[in-house]
Structure 1
Amino acid sequence: MNDEFSGKVALVTGASKGIGAGIAKALGQAGGHVAVAYGRDEAGARRVVAEIEAAGGHALALQGDLTRTADIEAMVARTVAAFGPIHILVNNAGVFEYKALAEITEAHVRSIFDTNVLGLLMMTKIAIANFDPAGGSVINISSLSAAGNGAGQAVYASSKAAVNTITKVLALELAGRKIRVNAIMPGYYDTEGARSFGMPGSEAEARLMAATPLEKRAGRPSDLSPVALFLASAASSWMTGEILTVSGGLR
């Protein structure tokens, strides 16, 4: 374990699996104290905590629903009680479901936006009220879908476009508090979510990998976590409002 983030407190949402788990483990293995927030996958969150602790780090699992403000307040309060003021917030949690226009319902729109947009905003609002007075870093996980490059993604893509806009606006709002706000846009990644949609071995996956210049493969959480750590670190202290694409060149 290195100590790049020794003494730093990080709260990572959607951290029980996939990209969020990769970021949480990387922060913990770099000396951070990590709150591993999750919605439903308790076993996954506990595995992430165990891996961090096995490497000599400090972590705790936090269950909560990002569509409920009371849950967000409780997760933040537990983080601060366990570790102290927060330095790093990673808004990774999100839901995705693709529907063509004819299939879109009000419930579908609300289910996507309540977590991807409202949940992100409320988590950020509540978490930064508990940030270290010296400032810190907010990292939002967006998506290449925000570019609007896929049919059937109107709702999901627009929720991620909102994340990009929120990132830029909050970078301006929070600069005076020395809180930097940046985003990462992943492309196609081999995650539990992609597997649940039946992507491995599918024609859709083959097309995406063929369109990925670097190595013609799906991304891995380990491809993205170093970028998140960069944005959380002093190495990016002169960066805010930036949206970095980490997709192997996929556009």
Structure 2
Amino acid sequence: MVGKTALVTGGSRGIGRGIAERLAQDGARVGVHYGSNEAAAKETVAAIERSGGSAFAIGAELGVPGDAAALWAAFDAHADGLDILVNNAGIGTSRPFADTDESEYDRLFAVNARAPYFITRLGAERLRDGGRIINISSGVSHAAVLPDIMTYAMTKGALDVFTRNLSKVLGPRGITVNAVAPGIVDTDINAAWLRGEDNKDAWAGAAAMSALGRVGTTQDIADVVAFLAAPDGRWVTGQWIDATGGSLA
């Protein structure tokens, strides 16, 4: 990916950071987007640079009017074009159906579905022919394994539909569009319940869901994204890639 420019939304922490670091390792110059945690984004950039890679941080709150335009204005200050777009940023919820109110529903769709739609629509103007778009979905969009997060799952289902249709729209330009669906991944966001003293069985339960008998890592997901972003992934488009470690098998 030497000479390529990538943008990873929500790239400062968790899965996004793993993706940003892997793309940089493969030679891409990576824009690390953050919503509010500038310090985490700068640390991700510093880690990439310490490893010999190239990266820059850009901040833009998602889920608010004008979010996509603000993100691209910040990006344009650092780069003159794009080769790889990873729509990773998202928010989750643990509130069940009966407790979800309209404001939470609207917020989830604004960040998880509307933002990547318009980020991609404006980004298509900057994306060079032969480029890559990778949307980070979730295993819960294809199976009701965690029904208490139904609204979150619905947002990811919308992202999956977007992925399939967009692959037809941008295919004539040689641009591939795919979705990668993680299962349970060991990130700082999940640490409280995976490793919490009050939920000692959570780690074993999460590992048991996978056919491979362990909890996923950010590297597991980043490696799948890297394949799709690289030349080897050129003939894969419009696909939903199960990266749950066989949790849905």
TM over 0.5: yes
Q: Secondary structure at the match of 1:155?
A: helix
Report the 3-state secondary structure (helix = DSSP H, G, I; strand = E; otherwise coil) of the residue aligned with 1:189: coil
Q: Where does structure 2 lack aligned partners over 5 or more consecutive residues?
A: none
| Residues 96-105 or 69-78, more deviating | 69-78
Matches within 5 A, 1:226-245: 226-245=223-242
Task: Please report how far the alpha carbon of residue 171 of structure 1 lies from its aligned counterpart in structure 2 after TM superposition.
Answer: 0.7
Gaps of 5+ in 1: none
| Number of residue pairs matched by the alignment | 244
Residue 183 of structure 2 corresponds to 187
Mapped to 2, the partners of 1:170 and 1:180 lie a distance apart of: 9
- The match for 1:37 is 33
RMSD: 1.4
For residues 151-230 of structure 1, the aligned pairs below 5 Å read 151-196=147-192, 198-201=193-196, 202=199, 203-214=201-212, 216-230=213-227
In the superposition, the TM-score normalised over structure 1's length comes to: 0.92
User: What CA distance in whole angstroms lies between the structure 1 residues aligned with 2:116 and 2:85?
Assistant: 10
Contact 1:35 1:61 in 2 (8 A): yes
Write the letter of the residue equivalent to 2:141.
A
State whether residues 67 and 115 of structure 2, in contact with CA within 8 Å, keep that contact through their aligned partners in structure 1. Answer: no
SS of the aligned residue for 1:66 comes to: coil
What is the letter of the counterpart of residue 235 of structure 1? Answer: D
Task: Give the TM-score of the pair, scaled to structure 2.
Answer: 0.93
Aligned sequence identity (%): 36
For 1:247, the aligned partner's letter is T
- 1:51-80: per-residue Cα shift (whole Å, max 9, x none)? 111122211111101223534223223323
Structure 1 stretches of 4+ moved >6 Å:
none
Note the C-alpha offset of 1:193. 1.5
What is the letter of the counterpart of residue 243 of structure 2?
V
* Residues 1:139 and 2:134 aligned together: yes
Task: Give the AA of the match of 1:210.
Answer: A
